[in-house]
Amino acid sequence: MTLGGAGVYASNLCRELARFGHEVHVIAPSTESRATKTLGNLFVHRVPVLSRRFLKTFSFWLRLRNLYKTLHQHIDFDVLHSNVTSGFGLTRRLVRIPRIVTIHHLAKTVFQVTKNSPSKIPDGLEGETSLVSRIEKAFIDLDKVEINRADKVVTVSNFVKKSIVSMYRVPESKIETIYNGVSWEEYSHYHREKEKIREAYSLGYEPLILYVGRLERRKNLGSLIEAFKLVTKKIKCKLIIAGSGDQSFLKAIIPHNIIKRIIFTGFVEDKVLKQLYNACDVFVLPSHMEGFGLTLLEAMAAAKPVVASNVGGIPELVKNGVNGILVDNNSSKGLADAVTFLLENPELARNMGLRNRKYVAQNFSWEKTAMMTSTLYNEILSSNVKGKGAK
């Protein structure tokens, strides 16, 4: 299962680590197959989980323990690396090897920034800000448990690192910031690719604004729709909202006169997603909070100018006025003004996009992410050996 930015991170990191020559074993959930899949020295072990709502995660944690114990009897693991709270079922007593956890953002931070924000998307029963998540957080702070268990914590931005230090009083020396990467060469900007996707969604030749991500409270999509209403008063354009989630609440607030200008794609496969990036004129991420903003990196790899909220880890990636425009996440007008400016200045937007592609190619890659992670593994193992020797 590749779910959201955390899933993209795990998938690419594991592939790169295996390519470096490491023997990588992935324990992942599945509602279908429980067979182990082998790709060279990358082994994917499937844990069967219950498909019922609310039970997938809990059933994974429970069954993860047995599979880990079975595998560890035959495989001499050196390091355990958990992605977010995926390793919650593996207690300290069970895991006797060095342990790392990657934190993409803190649930507490999400609750804080969305608590008082006006949103057209209700909390619902599933997702980061759902009633179930809030009840769960009231009883146990999963992020805190995983961070305390770990020998080292990897964060995807300095913003997340500072949040952990501030919220949990964790020493900075325990945390390593390793940025996400992107396979930038896969994000082409060829004319024929643009034609394909525009035909598939009947987009015509009007300017296209793109949002990619889940339809949830944190993403601030109500403000995006309000902003789009303002943009369409000046420019005839279309908006694509690509991502899984309940569309009904957003569709209910779209005025009748622009409803045909907004296309909801639902979940799309990776190939189609790359085509959408390729076809758009401006990419927008209006979130209340992002630990990093991986979709921004993908849009920049596709040579697109970006407009994003000036929150979280986004300013570490987007330099205002250089490779994008940063706006107040509570200002629909600010968002609209930024998008309108880029659409009204296509040559400036094009040059900004080309600059973005070069910037991403030079500074962000999954190879670099994996290399820094591999170095961290070696440091932990070396430190662990010295520690045992001292005893």
| Res 125: pLDDT | 45
Main-chain dihedrals φ then ψ at residue 283, nearest 5 degrees: -105, 140
- Measure CA 328 to chain center: 21
- Please report whether residue 168 resides in a domain: yes
Q: Are residues 113 and 34 part of one domain?
A: yes
Q: Are residues 245 and 138 part of one domain?
A: no
Per residue in 148-200, pLDDT (tens digit) is 999 999 999 999 999 999 999 999 999 999 999 999 999 876 667 778 888 88
Its domain, for residue 302, covers: 192-356
Q: How many CB atoms lie within 10 A of CB 21?
A: 10
- Please report whether residue 186 resides in a domain: no
The mean pLDDT value for 203-209 works out to: 92
Domain count, the chain: 2
* Cβ within 8 Å of residue 190, ≥6 positions away: 278
- Please report whether residue 262 resides in a domain: yes
The mean pLDDT value for 228-235 works out to: 97
Q: Are residues 233 and 98 part of one domain?
A: no
Q: Are residues 257 and 112 part of one domain?
A: no
**Cα–Cα distance, 296 to 285 (Å, whole number):** 7
Per-residue pLDDT band at 358 (split at 50, 70, 90): very high
| Res 316: pLDDT | 97
- Please report whether residue 41 resides in a domain: yes
Per DSSP, 237 falls in state -
Q: Are residues 128 and 215 part of one domain?
A: no
Q: End-to-end CA distance of the chain, in Å?
A: 42
Instruction: Give ∠ CA 292-296-298 in degrees, rounded to 5.
Output: 115
H or E segment to which residue 56 belongs: helix 56-74
| Res 115: pLDDT | 67
- Burial track 73-91 (b if 16+ CB lie within 10 A, e otherwise): eeeeeebbbbbbbbbbbbe
**Cα–Cα distance, 352 to 319 (Å, whole number):** 11
The pTM assigned to this predicted structure is 0.90
| Res 58: pLDDT | 86
Q: Are residues 233 and 86 part of one domain?
A: no
Q: Are residues 32 and 163 part of one domain?
A: yes
Which of 349, 198, 231 is closest to 281 using CA atoms?
349
**Cα–Cα distance, 36 to 21 (Å, whole number):** 19
Helices 107-115/142-149 angle, 10° precision: 150
Per residue in 85-107, pLDDT (tens digit) is 999 999 999 999 999 999 999 98
Out of 67-76, 326-335, 376-385, which region has the weakest mean confidence (pLDDT)?
376-385
Q: Are residues 150 and 208 part of one domain?
A: no
CA quadruple 109, 112, 115, 118: dihedral sign = negative
Per-residue pLDDT band at 390 (split at 50, 70, 90): very low
- Please report whether residue 185 resides in a domain: no
Q: Are residues 209 and 269 part of one domain?
A: yes
| Res 121: pLDDT | 55
| Res 113: pLDDT | 78
**Cα–Cα distance, 365 to 353 (Å, whole number):** 18
Q: Are residues 25 and 146 part of one domain?
A: yes
CA quadruple 85, 89, 93, 96: dihedral sign = negative
Per-residue pLDDT band at 36 (split at 50, 70, 90): confident
Out of 39-53, 275-289, 310-324, 347-361, which region has the weakest mean confidence (pLDDT)?
39-53
- Measure CA 230 to chain center: 28
Q: Are residues 201 and 175 part of one domain?
A: no
- Please report whether residue 361 resides in a domain: no
**Cα–Cα distance, 8 to 20 (Å, whole number):** 19
CATH number, domain of 324, equals 3.40.50.2000
Residue located via tokens 């500072």:
162
Q: Are residues 152 and 24 part of one domain?
A: yes
**Cα–Cα distance, 338 to 137 (Å, whole number):** 37
**Cα–Cα distance, 136 to 155 (Å, whole number):** 23
**Cα–Cα distance, 141 to 83 (Å, whole number):** 16
- Please report whether residue 187 resides in a domain: no
Which of 209, 344, 357 is closest to 283 using CA atoms?
209
- Please report whether residue 34 resides in a domain: yes
Q: What is the mean pLDDT of the chain?
A: 89
Per residue in 108-152, pLDDT (tens digit) is 888 777 765 555 555 554 555 454 555 555 568 899 999 999 999
Per-residue pLDDT band at 73 (split at 50, 70, 90): very high
- Measure CA 372 to chain center: 19
**Mind giving me the DSSP string for 139-180?**
H--HHHHHHHH-SEEEESSHHHHHHHHHHH---GGGEEE---
CA quadruple 333, 334, 335, 340: dihedral sign = positive
